Amino acid sequence: MSGPFESISAYIVLGRYTLIAGRPALPPPWTFSLFLSTSFTTNYSKATVDEFPSGMRERDIPVGVFHFDCFWMKGFQWCDFEFDVDFFSDTRGQPVRLHERGYKASPVPTCIFIPSITASRT
* pTM recorded for the entire structure: 0.56
Decide: helix, strand or coil at residue 43: coil
Q: What residue ranges do the domains of the chain occupy?
A: 29-121
- H or E stretch covering 94: helix 93-100
Per residue in 63-120, pLDDT (tens digit) is 877 777 777 777 777 677 777 778 777 777 777 777 787 765 433 334 555 555 444 4
Per residue in 19-78, pLDDT (tens digit) is 999 998 988 777 788 888 777 666 677 777 778 888 888 999 888 777 777 777 777 776
Q: How many residues does the chain have?
A: 122
* Cβ contact 41:71 at 8 Å: yes
